[in-house]
Amino acid sequence: MVNLESFGVFAVSILVQFLPDDVTVEAQVGESFLEVAQRAGVFIPTGCLLGTCHACEVELEGEGDIRACITSVPPGRSHLTINLFSDPTW
């Protein structure tokens, strides 16, 4: 196993808040938002898991709509807020 810290790469954790549930969980940079939500017990509907069906579309505050199955936690911020949509067709 490669020790990334020896290359100056450190795991960075970021707080992700899911609204309207008001659930906050720690996430790692590069982890998909869908994985973070599942770990936090927050339900995000899925369809294709490739991003093309848009079933997992949520709003990343300050960034706009993203697809949680294919979008990863970005570096550079200490806190992110995800607004969940309620779509009765999913």
Q: Where are the domains of the chain?
A: 47-75
- 3-class DSSP string for 15-70: EEEEECCCEEEEEECCCEHHHHHHHHCCCCCCCCCCCCCCCCEEEECCCEEEECCC
Q: pLDDT tens digits for 48-80?
A: 999 999 999 999 999 999 999 999 999 989 999
Q: pLDDT tens digits for 9-52?
A: 555 799 999 999 999 999 999 999 999 999 999 999 999 999 99
